[in-house]
Amino acid sequence: MNILEFKEKLRNKIGELLSRSEREKAIRDHHAKRKPRPCGMTIHTGIGCNLRCTYCYIEDMGFKWSIEPYPLNGLQLVYALLSNPYFVPGETGTLIAIGSVTEPFHGITKKKTFEYIEYISKYLRNPIQFSTKMYLNKEEARILKNIEPTISPLITIVSIKQYRKLEPLAPSPEKRFETIKNLRDAGLKPILFLRPIIPGIIENEYYEILEKAREYGAIGIVAGSLRVTPLILERLRKAGIPVDEIVRRIRKPLKPNIQVSVDTSDIKKEILRTAEKLGLIPFPEACMANIYTHGYICWKMISKGIMRKREGLLPRLETSEIIREAEELGLRINYLRKEDYKLKIAITGPSKLKYFFIEYIKCKYKICVQETRTFK
C-alpha cells in the first residue's frame, strides 16, 4: 500500500466514526486546506488569545484578544488533517506544531489541546511539538510523557527582567522554569524557546536565561527572531520597551498588518554559541528540535555541525527509491540531485500531488527539498 492509499484508508475509517455534518464541518475547516509551514503543520487548539503579549502578531492577523477552544473535536481534527491534500500522516510524516496563534495550555484551551494530542497520537502518530508559556504541573507532565510517540515541548522565555512589560498576563518566567523541571523530571526533553529575540533587551539577559534553563533541566534551545508591524512597535513603545535597537534592525519599510522580520542574526548566533558552551543543544529552527526529540537528525543538522551522525537516526537517501515512490503515485521525476543538505527536484504531475510528494520525501528522508524547474 502506498502512502496515498494508506491516507485514504485511514480517512475512510475515521469518517465512519463521524456523522455526516461532523465530516462536512471538518472538511470546511482550514486544517483541511492549509499547506504545512517549514516548522510543520500548525494546529490551532483555540481561537484568539487573551494573554496580550506586547510583541504578539495575532491582532494584525485578525484574531481577537479573547480566547475560546477550537470548534472541532479531536476526531474531526484528525479527519480534517487526513482531508488536507498536503498533509502526510504517520511517524515519519508531517511535523505538527501546536501553539502558533493561541496559548495551547491556557485554562480555556488546555482540555482541547490534550484532546487533540491524544487523537493525533492515537490515529496519526505524527511527531508533535508544542510551545507554551503556561505552568504545567507534575501530573500534566506525566500525562504528556505517556504520549506515543513522544512529544517535543518548547517553553517560551524571552526575558526575566522585562517580562511584565512584554507578557503582562502570562505566568512568570520562574513558573516556566518550573515547567521545564516538571517536564524533565517526568522523562521528557524540554527545550527553551527563546523567541522572539528582542534586541536592546536580550543582550543583557540571555546568559542568565540560558544558565537557568539548563539548571532546571532544558536539553536545548530554539532561538528565533522578532517580527513587527506598526501596531506591535507602538505597543512596545507604550509598554516602555526601548525600540531604537529594534527599529535600527528593520530592513524593509513597515506597512500596516504586514509582519517584517527584525534582523537579529548576529545576536542569534551569539546566543546559540553560548548555549552550546553551556551544554545546551543549539537548534536554529524549531523543526530540528521536533525531529531530534523523536529520535532522528536531519541532513541540515549534520551540515551545520549541530549534530554528528549516530546522535540520532539519519535516514539513508536512495535516489532510485525516491524515483520509484514518485512513479507509484503517478509522478515523473525529471531531475534529482542532493546538494549539501538540500534535495533539488523537478517533477511532472498535478500540483497538489507534487506538493504532497515533496512534503512526503522531506519528512521521510529528513532533508530540505527545493523544487527546481531549470534541471541544473
* Span near ligand SF4 by CB under 6 A; candidates 45-53, 110-118, 278-286, 342-350: 45-53
Beta pairing, strands 220-225 & 281-283: parallel
Residue 43 CA to residue 145 CA, distance in Å, equals 20
Question: Which CB atom, from 103 or from 115, has the smaller least distance to ligand SF4?
Answer: 103
Look up cell 521528557; give the residue: 188
* Span near ligand SF4 by CB under 6 A; candidates 46-54, 74-82, 254-262, 352-360: 46-54
Question: Which CB atom, from 56 or from 363, has the smaller least distance to ligand SF4?
Answer: 56
* Span near ligand SF4 by CB under 6 A; candidates 13-21, 101-109, 157-165, 200-208: 101-109
Judged by CB under 6 A, the residue of 49, 78, 233, 326 near ligand SF4 is 49
Decide if residue 53 touches ligand SF4 (CB under 6 A).
yes
CB 159, min distance to ligand SF4, A: 13
* Span near ligand SF4 by CB under 6 A; candidates 53-61, 227-235, 277-285, 340-348: 53-61
Decide if residue 133 touches ligand SF4 (CB under 6 A).
yes
Residue 315 CA to residue 56 CA, distance in Å, equals 37
Structure-block grid coordinates of residue 94:
508531517
Decide if residue 51 touches ligand SF4 (CB under 6 A).
yes
Decide if residue 158 touches ligand SF4 (CB under 6 A).
no
Residues whose CB is less than 8 angstroms from the CB of residue 216 and which lie 6 or more positions away in sequence, other chains included: 177, 178, 180, 181, 184
Beta pairing, strands 342-348 & 128-132: unpaired
Q: Binding mask 56-75 vs ligand SF4 (x if CB under 6 A, - otherwise)?
A: x-x-----------------
Distances (CA, A) of 181 to 95, 157, 292: 25, 14, 19
Decide if residue 232 touches ligand SF4 (CB under 6 A).
no
CB 205, min distance to ligand SF4, A: 18
Question: Which CB atom, from 103 or from 205, has the smaller least distance to ligand SF4?
Answer: 103
Judged by CB under 6 A, the residue of 45, 94, 102, 152 near ligand SF4 is 102
Residues whose CB is less than 8 angstroms from the CB of residue 121 and which lie 6 or more positions away in sequence, other chains included: 128, 147, 148, 149
Beta pairing, strands 151-156 & 128-132: parallel
Closest CA to 40 of 98, 92, 96: 96
CB 249, min distance to ligand SF4, A: 20
Number of residues that bind ligand SF4 (CB under 6 A): 10
Decide if residue 145 touches ligand SF4 (CB under 6 A).
no
Q: What secondary structure does DSSP assign to 43-84, as a single string?
A: E-SEES-SS--TT--TTTTT--SS-EE-SS-HHHHHHHHHH-
CB 167, min distance to ligand SF4, A: 6
Decide if residue 103 touches ligand SF4 (CB under 6 A).
yes
Distances (CA, A) of 232 to 12, 47, 201, 228, 239: 44, 20, 16, 6, 11
Residue 254 CA to residue 232 CA, distance in Å, equals 11
Q: Which residues are near ligand SF4 by CB under 6 A?
A: 49, 51-53, 56, 58, 101-103, 133
